[in-house]
Amino acid sequence: MTLADQFVSAAEVSVEIGGMPIVLRSTDRTFRALVETRYSAYLRPPETASFVFEVEVLPDHLLPREDGENDLRVWKQDGKWWLERGDFQAYLDPAARGGRILQSASPYAIDSVLRIVHTLIQAAQGGFLLHGASAIRNGRAFLFSGVSGAGKTTISRLAPPDAILLTDEISYVRRDDSYTACGTPFAGELARPGENAMAPIEHLFFLAKGPQNRIDPIAPADALRMLLRNILFFADDAELIKMVFRSAMEFLGRVPASRLTFYPDVRVWDLIQ
């Protein structure tokens, strides 16, 4: 290894989520330390990279949108995806397998960029990120999807010791020969990252709270409607919307989906084996 290589390696951090290593290259030591701490369970040697991003951390007043505008915008232009919010501006060039990120020092900026980038990458491969908790039990993964307040964190807190909690907030669904759920560092109210593990998906549950624990079938149209409502996608892009629709249809064609009504005590996990 040359001195130059050592320098480059020292300036890179590779974060692998969903089996997709993304290298973040930055000369800002504080930023790299933040990434190494925040995603400690998801770090990989920098030489493994599916995508490489140059990251520049800027003071707030130097960010592209210092007008206080905070709405997220994601759009495609000239083959690149552009991501913009008050605390970051970034692009992803899928053909070049990389891009550039200008962002504030806030950890939420890189967290959001990574979620969006993974969403865009997975959309092209038939996978998606889903508002939902997920866990592995007996070698099989279970997804618990729902909007805010549906019980994602509650069911995560109730998980028995043998369950491997992948996330209480954002589930990662990858399409391989089958569908695989992967752990994510994106935490909800539980405020702790998921385990860095993966397993084939056995069942998708749509969560509802109720007086007793029960599993009910869902009509295919309702399952699709709920799944589409809970899949993360950020861009008003016709092709992306079509891809997400296709992915949701194909997922429901292969993974059973039901409604899980649960009373918040540990016995609900007796139904999830």
Binding site for another protein (CB under 8 A): 219-221, 224-225, 228, 238-239, 241-242, 245-246, 249, 252-253
Kindly tell me which of 10 and 249 has the beta carbon lying closer to another protein: 249
Shortest Å distance, C-beta 151 to another protein: 24
Kindly tell me which of 158 and 241 has the beta carbon lying closer to another protein: 241
Strand-strand pairing, 214-217 and 257-262: antiparallel
Report in angstroms the alpha-carbon separations of 235 from 52, 75, 99. 21, 6, 17
Shortest Å distance, C-beta 175 to another protein: 17
The C-alpha angle with vertex 242 and arms to 240 and 244, in degrees rounded to 5, equals: 70
Q: Which of 196, 197, 258, 199 is nearest to 227 (CA)?
A: 258
Shortest Å distance, C-beta 246 to another protein: 6
First to last CA, the chain: 49
Residue 177, Cα to own-chain centre: how many angstroms? 20
Q: What sign does the CA torsion over 240, 241, 242, 244 have?
A: positive
Shortest Å distance, C-beta 254 to another protein: 13
What three-state secondary structure class fits 238? helix
Kindly tell me which of 181 and 223 has the beta carbon lying closer to another protein: 223
Kindly tell me which of 23 and 226 has the beta carbon lying closer to another protein: 226
Shortest Å distance, C-beta 129 to another protein: 16
Kindly tell me which of 227 and 272 has the beta carbon lying closer to another protein: 227
